[in-house]
Structure 1
Amino acid sequence: MSYTDAEIAALAEGLLDRSLPKDQWTHAAHLTATLRLVRLRDANLERDLPWVIRTYNVAVGGQNTETAGYHETITQAYLAAIRAFEAALPPGTSDAEAVALLLATPLGDKNWPLTHWSRERLFSVEARRWWVDPDLKPLAHPPAPRNDL
């Protein structure tokens, strides 16, 4: 999957204004929108992205429950990894180039979290609600502690 700069901007805006069709909210779209927001927003995404995802889920007919919808541990792990990835990009890298590079890393595999967490721990109610440390392998870039919980 490759995106143009314009498609990336539209995808992130569709997430923010909750107009992105649900069938377009794929793993690649999650990563793409998050990278775009990291690159452009002067916001506390560790605090704000959970709200964005939860409200989007509800707007497209989903729910945020103990077994479906928003997942805190997965979101914060990817956000920290994407921040580190973005910080290492050469200056002047376009959004399209950055997304193509990101999707070609291990993060592009939706099973990446399972290299750090056991399935049981990652898909626990606790991990869905709050940050849970990995039990298999530490993250190269763990999230910063949140003060807003």
Structure 2
Amino acid sequence: MDFACPHAPRLFGDCTAIRALAGGLLAATLPRASWTHEAHLAATLCLVMERPDIDLDAELGGIIRRYNVAVGGENTDTAGYHETITRFYLEALRRFAAAAPAGERLVETVNRLLASPIGDRNYPLRYYSRERLFSVAARRAWLAPDLQELAV
């Protein structure tokens, strides 16, 4: 796999590692140090692709909040769960998964995602001003992008 991208993500070697991240998130047992940017995206994409039994629109916020508390974090106006970022990425990941080639393995889809512009930590800032995205209002509730519509 040769992925050329400017943000140099940490890629995954197999599906098992990705499924373990998703399972650890759901069970709130994943070590805090393992909850990297790549892990956020990989675990969520795994849930999107492999867990249709979970209503992510209704449950993802609670899953993440519960995990944050379980690892000693807080969900406040300045730390922890961020509604707008979560909803933004959930939609981007759904669109990415829907466009994945038929028969592509989870690890391949995740690694393509991470190597794509969506994998860049600053990806949401293509759509949001810094002020809007990092506001308390955006952390508490969904705010639509103010720079451009999401296009994946």
The TM-score with structure 2 as length reference comes to 0.90
Which of 3, 17, 28 lines up with 1:7 in the alignment?
17
Structure 2 gaps, min length 5: 1-9
2:82 is the counterpart of 1:71? yes
2:146 is the counterpart of 1:140? no
How far apart, in 2, do the equivalents of 1:77 and 1:113 lie? 8
The TM-score with structure 1 as length reference comes to 0.92
Identical positions, percent: 57
2:37 is the counterpart of 1:27? yes
* Letter of the structure 2 residue corresponding to residue 66 of structure 1: D
* Partner-residue secondary structure (3-state), 1:78: helix
Q: CA deviation at 1:68?
A: 0.5
How many residues matched? 141
What's the counterpart of residue 108 of structure 1? 119
* Partner-residue secondary structure (3-state), 1:134: coil
Taking only aligned residues, the RMSD between alpha carbons, in angstroms, comes to 0.9
User: Which consecutive aligned stretches of 4+ in structure 1 deviate over 6 angstroms post-superposition?
Assistant: none
Q: CA deviation at 1:40?
A: 1.0
Structure 1 gaps, min length 5: 142-149
* Letter of the structure 2 residue corresponding to residue 30 of structure 1: H
Q: CA deviation at 1:8?
A: 0.7
What's the counterpart of residue 28 of structure 2? 18
2:72 is the counterpart of 1:61? yes
Q: CA deviation at 1:2?
A: 2.3
What's the counterpart of residue 88 of structure 1? 99
